[in-house]
Structure 1
Amino acid sequence: MALEFRDRELPGGLVLRVLREDDAAELAAAYARNRGHLAQWDPTRTEEFYTEAGQLARTRESLTLRDVDTALPLVLIDGDSIAGIMNLTSIVRGAFQSAMIGYWLDRDHTGRGLASAALSAVVEASRDDFGLHRIQAATLLHNHASQTVLTRAGFERIGVAPAYLNIAGRWQDHVLFQRILHD
């Protein structure tokens, strides 16, 4: 059964909602528009990644994972444009009740509290609607902006994972954060 997420209005009139197949063209445009902005934070991407076909394939994969309750792919919408994504992934049920969170914002939308507002909405839904107990996030050591977003949303630093992800073409250390959703 797919995770149900109701649209949330964010500051500045942006909307946080579930990704749809018809978002593929705009998602490709958003990634292309932000290619330089995201390069230092992302894995190395193929040229196909930046195409509508590439994003449609990724969207379908994400929605399939949503259908089996292991992911929740969300987009931030500004009018007709995608201003970022917020993905709840690696959802594990049973005794763990945990997930990972990853996100990015369009370069023209940073510094306005939008990532913090969107993350807070996902945390609230994860606790109240999805019954999760814990959310984990990881940032590159030098990604202070994302670390600030996580801290504002009540995440705590829990350590450093050496060579955690292959970002920008090399294995890089990451700071790990978590938020416990139930006391």
Structure 2
Amino acid sequence: MLIAPIDTPRLQLRILLPEHAPLLQQYLLRNREYLAPWEPLRDSAFFSIEQCQERLLSNFKLMHAGLGMFFAICDTEDMVGMCNFSNIVRGAFQACHLGYSIAKTHQGQGFMSEAATAGIDYMFAHAGLHRIMANYVPENTRSAALLQRLGFEREGYAKSYLKINGVWRDHVLTALIHPQQ
């Protein structure tokens, strides 16, 4: 399940393979503290080259099975973010979850919006999805604003939804429906 990179005006969305683990590891290590408030607790092993290789292999298997699409967001030299479409469900649902992160050095410049738009367009046009869901903790105003700009609509509120940074956190539930279905 390899696809050609998706180019945007300033970025490229790429599928990483296990041999690209150093690129993923560098991104994770550079942004470890910055992303910590919005992610599950990560032990030191999570950042090892071996764990990065295993995650990339697992992602590849999920993509091959049609259960996810995992994009690295890259500028000319480095990985600067992630845009992942996971938990793909087919049948009558035709939906997935969107997860994303952007490097601290690239926040507030429209990079995540640019990358997510390209990823969403791909998932609607080529993966045939009808619905993409994205959830965020209420305090994450940047995610709230991003999802609103992308056209996501609030659909609900989930109490104690995910364990983020060691604490069960409430989440705002949003979704984007394919505009031409």
Q: What is the TM-score of this pair, normalised by structure 1?
A: 0.94
Alignment of 1:4-153 (within 5 A): 5-12=3-10, 14-153=11-150
Q: Deviating runs (4+, > 2 A) in structure 1?
A: 8-12
CA contact (8 A) 1:28 1:49 kept: no
Name the CA distance, whole Å, in 1 between partners of 2:3 and 2:100.
Answer: 17
Q: How many equivalent pairs are there?
A: 180
Give how far 1:5 is off: 4.0
Name the CA distance, whole Å, in 2 between partners of 1:143 and 1:57.
Answer: 29
Gap change, CA 1:11 and 1:110, over 3 Å in 2: farther
Give how far 1:149 is off: 1.0
Name the CA distance, whole Å, in 1 between partners of 2:155 and 2:109.
Answer: 26
Name the CA distance, whole Å, in 2 between partners of 1:180 and 1:9.
Answer: 23
Match of 1:165 in 2: 162
Report SS of the residue matched to 2:37.
coil
Give how far 1:46 is off: 1.6
What are structure 2's unaligned runs of at least 5 residues?
Answer: none
Q: What is the TM-score of this pair, normalised by structure 2?
A: 0.95
What are structure 1's unaligned runs of at least 5 residues?
Answer: none
Give how far 1:161 is off: 0.6
Name the CA distance, whole Å, in 2 between partners of 1:158 and 1:93.
Answer: 21
CA contact (8 A) 1:10 1:114 kept: no
Deviations 1:75-113 (A, max 9, x none): 011223110111100000011000000000010011111
CA contact (8 A) 1:138 1:176 kept: yes
> Percent sequence identity over matched residues?
34
Name the CA distance, whole Å, in 2 between partners of 1:123 and 1:114.
Answer: 14
Deviations 1:25-81 (A, max 9, x none): 121111111011001001001211111111111111111100100010100112231
Give how far 1:10 is off: 2.6
Name the CA distance, whole Å, in 2 between partners of 1:19 and 1:151.
Answer: 28
Name the CA distance, whole Å, in 2 between partners of 1:174 and 1:94.
Answer: 26
Amino acid at match of 1:66: M
Give how far 1:123 is off: 1.4
